[in-house]
Amino acid sequence: MGRRDRRATASHLIILMLHIIKWKTQTAKRTRSWKRSIDNARREIQRLQDKMPSLNNTLLQAIWQESFHEAREIAEIEMQQATDITSLTWQEVFEDEYNLPFS
């Protein structure tokens, strides 16, 4: 995988984690845009994996911690508050559903 593709993947992973952190921290402020960002980032990572079979889960795990720390830092700045989230699991990032209640 090229450097550009690795950066793109890391960027999508950071955005994905960022919005999941915000979703879990600011439950009263959940928005459709966060839901869309989660869905879009997941699709982009899947698209990159389809395009480049070398972008497997092992490589995602290799950039996981660094991406999480950056996402958490950005989330705290954007939310203007600290979060008690210290990690995210694979399931939280790639499998759990994040849905707004019907209004």
Higher-scoring residue by pLDDT: 7, 64: 64
| Cα distances (Å, whole numbers) of residue 87 to 6, 65, 92 | 21, 8, 10
Higher pLDDT, 59 or 16: 16
96: pLDDT confidence band, cut at 50, 70 and 90? very high
Tokens at residue 98, please?
Answer: 């994040």
Angstrom distances, CA of residue 21 to CA of 11, 58, 76? 15, 22, 9
Give start and end residues of each alpha helix (H) in the chain.
3-25, 32-51, 57-62, 64-79, 90
| pLDDT at position 15 | 96
Spatial separation of the C-alpha atoms in residues 58 and 81, rounded to whole Å: 32
Cα-based distances in Å from 25 to 2, 46, 52, 56, 84: 34, 26, 33, 29, 8
pLDDT band at 1 (very low <50, low <70, confident <90, very high): low
32, amino acid identity: R
pLDDT digits (tens, 9 = 90+) for 23-79: 999 988 888 888 999 999 999 999 888 888 777 788 888 899 999 999 999 999 999
